[in-house]
Chain A
Amino acid sequence: AQSVTQPDIHITVSEGASLELRCNYSYGATPYLFWYVQSPGQGLQLLLKYFSGDTLVQGIKGFEAEFKRSQSSFNLRKPSVHWSDAAEYFCAVKGGSEKLVFGKGTKLTVNP
């Protein structure tokens, strides 16, 4: 069964600083990987996804993520964080059966 681990429950960064959110997955075959963002009181919005090809994928709002099969990781990055990026971020993995499993999330706080 697939699973996702997000090691960091809460991260605080200063506005303008770089950001990396960690995600490790467990799945026996080729994974399909996703990052979502959730603003307070809102639903989930897709930031980016990986399913094949180039291991560095670009998403919306200036985010990117790199798939590393050898490390079973799919870390999310942004070069310069804006105050509006404060939210909760979720990594997810889908297998061939359409089962979509999420990690516990990382809450991002941005200091001015």
Chain B
Amino acid sequence: NAGVTQTPKFQVLKTGQSMTLQCAQDMNHNSMYWYRQDPGMGLRLIYYSASEGTTDKGEVPNGYNVSRLNKREFSLRLESAAPSQTSVYFCASSLGQSYTEAFFGQGTRLTVV
């Protein structure tokens, strides 16, 4: 019972490099989310996908793109990484009915130097 799996767990990038964070869930959930967590800022929503084929901006979408590849997978891409994107990134999924909770992955710690 893997739940929500994020890869990689750790990553160091140079400013200007690009990378994609991968997220997959095996719970047949409809909704998926990407958050970033910074000290004192809580979890801020970057993008979410309420269903396969749809994506919507969250609170802090600038500098990121997402792809809902299929029902299981939701990737987050940094096209040109900046030091301000140093953070811990969490992926989450939810069944897709408003009263259902989100389940979280273990996070990806990204450092941009």
Q: A residues near B, CB below 8 A?
A: 6, 9, 32, 34, 42-44, 46, 49, 51-52, 90, 92, 94-105
Asked whether B101 lies within 8 Å of A46 as measured between CB atoms, the reply is yes
- Hey, which chain A residues are within 8 Å of B106, CB to CB? 42-43
What are 23 of the A-B contact pairs (CB < 8 Å)? A9-B40, A34-B101, A34-B102, A42-B106, A43-B90, A43-B104, A46-B103, A49-B101, A51-B99, A94-B98, A95-B98, A96-B98, A97-B50, A97-B56, A98-B94, A98-B98, A100-B33, A102-B43, A103-B42, A104-B41, A104-B42, A105-B42, A105-B43
Which chain B positions have C-beta within 8 A of A96?
98
Contact A100 B45 (CB under 8 A): yes
B98 touches A104 (CB 8 A): no
What is the interface size of chain B, counting residues whose CB is below 8 A from a CB of the partner?
Answer: 27
Chain B stretch 56-104: residues in CB contact (< 8 A) with chain A: 56, 58-59, 90, 92, 94, 96, 98-99, 101-104
Chain A residues with CB under 8 A of B92: 44, 100
Asked if A98 and B48 sit within 8 Å, CB to CB, the answer is: yes
Q: Considering the complex of A and B, which 5 residue pairs feature the smallest CB-CB distances, nearest first?
A: A51-B99, A104-B42, A98-B50, A102-B43, A43-B104
A residues near B105, Cβ cutoff 8 Å: 43
Nearest neighbor of B105 in chain A, beta-carbon distance: A43
Distance A34 CA – B90 CA, assembled complex (angstroms):
17
Give bound CA distance, A104 to B35, whole Å.
Answer: 12
B50→A44 contact, CB < 8 A: no
Residues of chain B within 8 A (CB-CB) of A43 are: 90, 104-107
